[in-house]
Amino acid sequence: MGCALVGCGKAIPALEVENTALEALVDTNDEWITTRTGIKSRRIAVEESSADLGEAAARQALGWTEGGHSERSFAPEEIDLIICATVTPDSIVPSTAGLLRRRLGLKSAIAFDVNAACTGFIYSATVAEAMMAASAPSADGSAGRNPIRRALVVGTERLTRLTNWADRNTCVLFGDGAGAAVLEWDESRPGILGSFIVNADDDENALTCPLSYGTDLPFDAQGVSSQSPALKDASAIRIDEELAIREAVESGNPRQTLRMNGPHVFKFAAEAMTEAVHRSLDRAGLSLDDIACIVPHQANERIIKYAAKKLHLPMDFFQLSIAEAGNTSAASVPMALADAYAEGRIRRGDKVILVAFGGGFTSGAIVYEA
Ligand code: ACO
């Protein structure tokens, strides 16, 4: 018995931006971006929110709309859990999973978000599987509390809202989108065969995005009140905040944008991907010979090439979706997975590896039987 992947889908924003359009923003060119990253274009969510994208991907995964891969159409009351992986929620409260619960009418579901950067989907699916296993009926047939048989796991991002569009080292890399999967506890299928998630310290702050809260404290560390917040009206707070952000941008140190030491992340990523593949296979009691295809996080085609070399695998073993998507963080793996199904790469009974790495640092992999 196991946790089977029974549906997946993806959604992309309407606006497509090609590499050449970035030449007007920073000192870069299509040739550099293509050869160093494999990216040709990306989608940018101008109008769509993270919940909009997540909702559209979820509807496909649930079998409610065309375009995804779903074994059947799931009724709203069948979904017991929603986990949404994102670093770009529309709001801190409610969670994006909570927004999806309301929009999709999944009234029976527990809903919460997970932030594990680009590994978010792998972490979320691992948590969902663990919650299902913990609540599965015991040998005497009695179910645990909150029995969870089906989970909707979504990765949705608008990374372009955290992008410093003046920094050529990062602005060429990111894109927006969402992917979703439905997991079902099934006594007759093996489903997830092994998973491995791990954290490492990002000691050199190679990948960070500071948080800018909406207001300043009216107290100093000694508890002395500098200015009553009551005297500071809402518009004044907003103006201060805008000023602070403008000053930060002008000083070349914008708040709340992703900062990255690319080569440092590259080094971590290449090692983390290969380790996660091996460790998840060990846990599943399998070898690479048993695997039909690998769906990796789409951060940089060169990282995937490096992993292919280390694993002694040909590149066509890997799903490649980066050319028209860029790095969509937690959405990347489920979007690429939806592509793999759409391209007919994954058939029932195939054993597949999902693998990712991301800020934090996080990394992990899941091996499942389709
Ligand atoms: N256009 C033209 N030149 C550029 C650009 C650009 N867009 N960006 C950097 N360069 C220049 C650099 O300034 C440097 O010039 P210099 O030699 O004169 O100093 C030169 O190109 C080489 O720069 P590197 O950083 O060494 O280039 P590299 O080959 O390492 O590629 C890249 C950079 C693409 C960022 C790569 O390091 C990478 O992909 N790293 C991993 C990124 C990643 O996976 N991030 C995950 C994010 S996960 C998350 O949680 C969001």
Catalytic residue flag (residue 264): no
pLDDT confidence tier of residue 231, bands split at 50, 70 and 90? very low
Instruction: Name the residue with tokens 């597949």.
Output: 352
Taking only the tens place, the pLDDT of each residue in 321-367 is 999 999 999 999 999 999 999 999 999 999 999 999 999 999 999 99
Residue 359: inside a domain: yes
> pLDDT at position 243, please?
59
What distance in angstroms lies between residue 301's CA and the mean position of ligand 1's atoms? 13
Taking CA atoms only, the protein residue closest to ligand 1 atom 19 is: 169
Residue 170 host element (H or E): helix 168-171
Token pair for 65: 């709309």
359 CB under 6 A from ligand 1? yes
The phi and psi torsions of 231 (rounded to 5 degrees) equal: -80, -15
Distances 90 to 86, 95, 119, 173, 255 between C-alpha atoms, Å: 10, 8, 19, 21, 18
DSSP labels, 127-158: HHHHHHHHHS--TTS---SS---EEEEEEEEE
36 CB under 6 A from ligand 1? yes
> pLDDT at position 220, please?
82
For residue 229, pLDDT beyond 50: yes
265 CB under 6 A from ligand 1? yes
d(CA 6, CA 143): 22
DSSP β-bridge partners for residue 105: none
Nearest Cα neighbor of 296 from 359, 347, 363 is 363
Residue 237 host element (H or E): helix 234-250
Q: How many domains does the chain have?
A: 1
262 CB under 6 A from ligand 1? yes
Instruction: Give the 3-state secondary structure of residue 98.
Output: helix
For residue 238, pLDDT beyond 60: no
Residue 196: inside a domain: yes
d(CA 339, CA 299): 16
What distance in angstroms lies between residue 309's CA and the mean position of ligand 1's atoms? 21
Residue 231: inside a domain: no
Q: Mean pLDDT score of the chain, rounded to an integer?
A: 92
32 CB under 6 A from ligand 1? yes
User: What is the side-by-side strand order in the sheet with 81-85?
Assistant: 69-70, 2-11, 176-186, 150-158, 81-85, 110-114
Taking CA atoms only, the protein residue closest to ligand 1 atom 26 is: 263
> pLDDT at position 210, please?
83
Residue 226: inside a domain: no
Buried b (16+ CB within 10 A) or exposed e, 219-240: eeeeeeeeeeeeeeeeeeeeee
The strand ranges marked E within the chain are 2-11, 15-18, 41-44, 69-70, 81-85, 110-114, 150-158, 176-186, 192-199, 207-208, 259-260, 293-296, 351-358, 362-369
Count of residues in the chain = 370
Residue 242: inside a domain: no
pLDDT confidence tier of residue 101, bands split at 50, 70 and 90? very high
What distance in angstroms lies between residue 266's CA and the mean position of ligand 1's atoms? 9
Taking CA atoms only, the protein residue closest to ligand 1 atom 27 is: 263
Catalytic residue flag (residue 199): no
Residue of 118, 171, 209, 293 marked active site: 118
Ligand 1 atom with minimal separation from the 29 CA = 1
Which of the listed residues 36, 172, 208 should we mutate to test ligand 1's pocket, taking the one with most ligand atoms within 8 A of CB?
36
pLDDT confidence tier of residue 146, bands split at 50, 70 and 90? confident
Taking CA atoms only, the protein residue closest to ligand 1 atom 48 is: 358
Residue 229: inside a domain: no
SS3 content of the chain, % helix, strand, coil (to 5): 35, 25, 40
* Residue 49 lies in domain: 2-205+258-369
> pLDDT at position 137, please?
72
Catalytic residue flag (residue 118): yes
Nearest Cα neighbor of 256 from 287, 221, 210 is 210
> pLDDT at position 251, please?
58
Strand 81-85 to 110-114 pairing: parallel
Residue 11: inside a domain: yes
Q: Which residue did the predictor score with more confidence, 265 or 245?
A: 265
What distance in angstroms lies between residue 259's CA and the mean position of ligand 1's atoms? 12
By the 8 A CB rule, do 123 and 357 touch?
no
259 CB under 6 A from ligand 1? no
Q: What is the ipTM of this complex?
A: 0.93
d(CA 71, CA 352): 17
Taking CA atoms only, the protein residue closest to ligand 1 atom 10 is: 169
By the 8 A CB rule, do 57 and 328 touch?
no
Read off the pLDDT of each residue in 90-119 and give the average, rounded to a whole number.
Answer: 97
DSSP labels, 277-332: HHHHHHHHT--GGG-SEEEE--S-HHHHHHHHHHTT--GGGB---GGGT-B-GGGH
Taking only the tens place, the pLDDT of each residue in 62-83 is 999 999 999 999 999 999 999 9
d(CA 121, CA 179): 9
Residue of 19, 164, 300, 327 marked active site: 327
Residue 300: inside a domain: yes
What distance in angstroms lies between residue 193's CA and the mean position of ligand 1's atoms? 36
CATH code: domain of residue 17: 3.40.47.10
